[in-house]
Chains A and B, each alone.
Chain A
Amino acid sequence: MPSLGSDMEAGTLVEWLVQPGDTVARGDVVAVVETQKGAIEIECFEAGEVLELIAGIGQTLPVGEPLAHIGVPGVGPGAGTEVPAETRPAKATPATVKHETPPQFHASSQGGRASPAARLAAQEAGIDIASVAGTGPGEAVVLADVEGVGQSQARRPPAADGISEMRKAIAAAMTRSKREIPHFYVSHNIETQRISDWLAARNADKPPTKRVLSGAVFVKAAALAARTVPAMNGSYHEDGFHASKQVNVGIAISLRGGGLVAPALSDVDRLSLDEVMAGMRDLVTRARAGRLLASEFTRGTFTVSSLGAGGAEEMTGVIFPPQVALLGIGSPNIRPWVADDRVEPREVTKFVLSADHRACDGRQASKFMLELESRLSKSELL
Chain B
Amino acid sequence: MIEVSGLTKQFDVRTVLNCLNLSIDTGEIFGLLGPNGAGKTTTIRLLTMLTKPSGGIIRINGLSFEKNEQQIKSLLGIVPQHLNLDIELTARENLELHGRLHGIPTAERNRRITELLEFVELTDRSGDMVQTFSGGMKRRLMIARALLHRPKVLFLDEPTVGLDPQVRRRIWELVRHLASEGMTVLLTTHYIEEAQALCQRVAIIDKGHLIALDTPQTLCQGLGEYVVDWEENEQRHNKFFPNRVDAASYSASLTTTVIIRRSNLEDVFVELTGRKVVER
A and B: partners? no
- Give me the interface of B with A, judged by CB distance under 8 Å: none
- Give me the interface of A with B, judged by CB distance under 8 Å: none
